[in-house]
């Protein structure tokens, strides 16, 4: 709690000093180092495990963070927002439910966001996000519970200055199975992606906590810990950027490319989310595949 507040104060001070537009300021507002990582890097071909997948176009960019800086617009680093078209510092669950969606799955009105990618002082456009929803590794898929409405999650550490565990934050090209801790050099036809894997266990009680992570955990050997006993879908969130080639000047609005992270607030249509969890995850059915290759 204290760290969060202090970080918020720092961000506020930066805004007051007129520096908010400078994405190089690293304020470490996200506090997310304690809930670990999946047992293993989740990668490989699709099609072997139940999943549902949602692709969403970039909606908008803003220096807002409804989880970390609610009600305080402009106080965060620059974010790319996907999914819900209304996500802002002022968002509430009701406002999200009233919003539209940039997702192909129009009933997914969840708010997804991640720090903007920057190269040589210019924002690199994000093309789209892909959200893979699956049971966590080795978790009994029939035990997975749909996210409660309004559940807030952060994955990855925005304050990281060293490589994060690639099971949580990784970079890749296209839909490759490679998972690198730093952006690889990609070709123009298989562009750079950031891959963030969210926790898959919940305490069953809190939609958020002061640290934004204490209500969540990663499963171990297919089991959720006793204090966070509820398996939830493991969200693997990827952002594709309009970037190929050299990576030396890349950074994120939150810091270096090692500070990768992503945020999620569940505002899915409740019935649709529930049915997708039951039909695709409980039944271990592949409800969708993304080759990442749509161009029109």
Q: Which of residues 49-108 bind other proteins (CB under 8 A)?
A: 66-72, 91-94, 104-107
Q: Is 174 a residue that touches other proteins (CB under 8 A)? A: yes
What gap in Å lies between CA 195 and CA 240, rounded to an integer?
A: 9
Q: CB nearer to other proteins: give 162 or 293.
A: 293
- Binder of other proteins out of 61, 175, 203, 247 (CB under 8 A): 175
How near is the Cβ of 268 to other proteins at its closest, in Å?
9
Tokens of 165: 């565990």
Residues 256-285 contacting other proteins, CB under 8 A: 265, 269-276, 278-280, 283-285
- CA gap 84, 144 in Å, rounded: 24
Interaction of residue 45 with other proteins, rule CB under 8 A? yes
Looking at beta carbons only, is 123 or 287 nearer to other proteins?
A: 287
* 6: contact with other proteins by CB under 8 A: no
Name the one range near other proteins by CB under 8 A: 32-40, 120-128, 158-166, 174-182.
174-182
* Alpha-carbon torsion angle 272, 273, 277, 280, nearest 10: 50
- Shortest reach from residue 189's CB to other proteins, in Å: 6
CA dist., res. 61 & res. 138, Å (int): 36
Residue 22 C-beta: closest distance to other proteins, Å: 21
Q: Is 2 in the site for other proteins (CB under 8 A)?
A: no
Q: Of 200 and 276, which has the nearer Cβ to other proteins? A: 276
Helical spans, DSSP H, in 167-241 = none
171 touching other proteins, by CB under 8 A: no
* Least distance between other proteins and beta carbon 121 (Å): 29
How many binding residues for other proteins (CB under 8 A)?
72
Q: Is 232 helix (H, G, I), strand (E, B) or coil?
A: coil
In this structure, the dihedral spanned by the alpha carbons of residues 124, 127, 132 and 137, taken in order and rounded to 10 degrees, is -30
Handedness of CA 218, 211, 156, 275 (dihedral sign): positive
How far is the CA of 219 from the CAs of 1, 24, 39, 157, 164, in angstroms?
24, 34, 7, 18, 18
């Amino acid at each position: 709690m204290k760290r969060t507040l202090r970080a918020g104060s720092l961000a506020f001070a930066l805004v007051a000093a007129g520096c908010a537009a400078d994405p190089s300021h690293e304020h470490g507002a996200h506090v997310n180092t304690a809930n670990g990582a999946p047992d293993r890097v989740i990668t490989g071909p699709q099609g072997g495990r139940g999943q549902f997948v949602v692709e969403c176009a970039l909606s908008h960019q803003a220096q807002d963070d409804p989880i970390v800086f609610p009600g305080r617009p402009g106080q965060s680093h620059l974010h790319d927002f996907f999914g819900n078209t209304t996500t802002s510092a002022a968002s509430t669950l009701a406002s999200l439910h009233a919003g539209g969606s940039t997702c192909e799955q129009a009933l997914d009105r969840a708010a997804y966001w991640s720090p903007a990618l920057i190269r040589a002082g210019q924002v690199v456009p994000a093309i789209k996000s892909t959200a893979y929803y699956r049971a966590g590794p080795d978790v009994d898929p029939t035990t997975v519970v749909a996210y409660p409405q309004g559940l807030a999650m952060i994955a990855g550490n925005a304050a990281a200055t060293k490589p994060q565990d690639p099971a949580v934050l990784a970079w890749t090209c296209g839909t490759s199975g490679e998972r690198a801790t730093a952006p690889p050099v990609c070709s123009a036809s298989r562009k750079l992606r950031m891959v963030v894997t969210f926790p898959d266990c919940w305490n069953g009680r809190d939609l958020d906590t002061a640290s934004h992570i204490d209500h969540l955990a990663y499963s171990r050997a297919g089991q959720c810990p006793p204090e966070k006993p509820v398996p939830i879908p493991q969200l693997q969130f990827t952002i594709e950027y309009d970037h190929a080639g050299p990576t030396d000047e890349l950074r994120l609005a939150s810091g270096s490319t090692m500070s990768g992270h992503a945020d999620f607030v569940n505002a899915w249509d409740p019935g649709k989310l529930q049915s997708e969890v039951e039909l695709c995850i409980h039944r271990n059915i592949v409800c969708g595949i993304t080759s990442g290759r749509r161009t029109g």
